[in-house]
Structure 1
Amino acid sequence: MTDRLSLILTRRRRLAPAIVELTLEAEDGAPLPPAPAGAHLELELPDGLVRHYSLLDDGAEGRYRLGVLREADSRGGSAFLADQASEGLRLTASLPRDRFPLDETGRRQVLIGGGIGITPLVAMARRLCARGITPEVHYLVRREADAAFAEELAALLPEGALCLHVSARDGRAEVASLVGEVDADTRVHACGPEGLLAALEAAAAAWPAGCLRLERFRGTAPDAAPRDGHCEIVLERSGRTLTLAPEESLLEGLDRAGVAPPTLCGEGACGTCACGVIEGEVDHRDVLQSDAEKAANDTLYACVSRPAGARLVLDL
């Protein structure tokens, strides 16, 4: 099976002043690969840009739906899709990628979406409802007109399961009060602006481990100061060794050696530049991995992470 999909835009629908819903189908009419709840597509746009967009459903009906926010500072991706893309447009996409998996083990499921961050949670709500589980959904927007997916969620969920928080009307929501008491059988999934996610992380410090799962659309990794001394980077599969200067990033060193993985976001948020770690300590600066995953030290994201010692062996 190819790892790329040839898709055609069959519908573009404006749901809010800055949000459009795109419906994509296979160009040849074939069934689409199933998409886990929380998954996204990597779209290749006609001008060569590559962008990631969360899926609103699982593709079972022969279509993928995406929600796209036209960002004011768009470098072409969201602006093109929101303003210019027309029905009939052909696009190439990755297979669905799931870097925000739904943990279905909890008896109580809480979904919190801020702005366009609601998109992966719509798919999660659909999945849970299909299993007979009613999630508590909190949808946070600035203005009521921005709540592009409120109608869809209201039709999906029983009365009382959807809470729409409009900050211009109600003031800023208190994150801890949204969730309430959290026990080991509670799962909270959230996606949205950094302030929302940081507040949830702070609240989760008092929760049982493993209750909170987040997806960030943008990384927050700090700029790395120069390291103390050089570092030896061993490339296990290619049988090469390179020396990383203190002021040189890992990605720069790998690029110099001609073995750099592909990159996209440059912020440790999309997962494109993942590298396997065989030996050595890593200063993990991505926003994808949980604390437990970082402690396991099996994977690093080369665009932001860096060696934490004098020697690092990578599966490259």
Structure 2
Amino acid sequence: MGSRIHGEAMPTHLRQATVESTVSVVGFLQGVLRYCAPDRASHGWARMCMYQASDAMDTLGRLTGVIAAQLADNGLNRQAIQHLLRAEDEHLRTAQPPQLPEILRTSHDLAYMPPWLYDWVQRSVAKVLLLLRQVVKESQDDRNEDWFGHCLYQLASMLDELGRLITAIAAVNADSMSHDTLTRYQHLFQQRSRSRMPDADDERYLAGLLGRPGDGEATTWYAIGLAQAGRKERPLQRGSPEGRVLHTLEALDAALRPFRWDDARGRPLDHTRDTAIIYLDALTAVEGEDDDDFPPLYWLPLHEQAAAAAAATVIFGAVPLPGPAADQMKDASGAEGHR
């Protein structure tokens, strides 16, 4: 295999797809964290977390599928592709989650996300963020004959991580939500098994990325591929949304590089989780809040706002903070200086 068939590095058109998928997934992960916050309880944390996490999973699935389509286009047989996708071990989301008999699950009990589930959410978001960074690194290497195997391994791990997380959220809410509701909140109508990859839409997406003539039928994924192909020669600006996301992931990678980041089960350690969440909050802070009447990250405790602002300063330079959080950040800096 290797460079004889798939090139010495990821092709340019797939690099563009990777960048744009990465930006979308990071946005969905920010949404997952945002809807965990107590002030959004009335919006339905379970519904919105399942929406956002499912969209992240499906975006990763489409990137996985178009890479598989590229391998098939290069002549790799379906059995070999399925092996690379680890399709036989995948964890899909489901409207019939396993029962959790020892947990209270009435609507009243679930007005807010249970603390143990919040920890699970944070660790899953951290893991996906770190694996996403690895895919970006693999895609950008100028000489990487095994780019496809490495990227597909990380993508499959992210898909399974999100599948397990969404299943856990569904299981917690199984007694208070109907089968149809769980189906709708998890976007099961758009879920795809890796055993079906690459499918016709993956092939159309690839055709669009390559600028090949369409098959006579205007399709969404062909149009998306064409649009992305038109952006691939444009230099990436550091201050652009794409540049901020990639720069945040690069900074997170550098911050954690000296440390082991997971335990024997592959779960992020506390330090890893905390750092990843702080860096994602920092990105949220510089992007601005969705309601101009409130300061950035107003839903977080002041010490978490200050930690995010400190990280944003490291990553991007100064970032505005509301008064109390700014004071807390100064107090923390002063205490550090007197040690």
- Smaller-chain TM-score bracket: under 0.3
Higher strand share: 1
Higher helix share: 2
TM-score (norm 1): 0.27
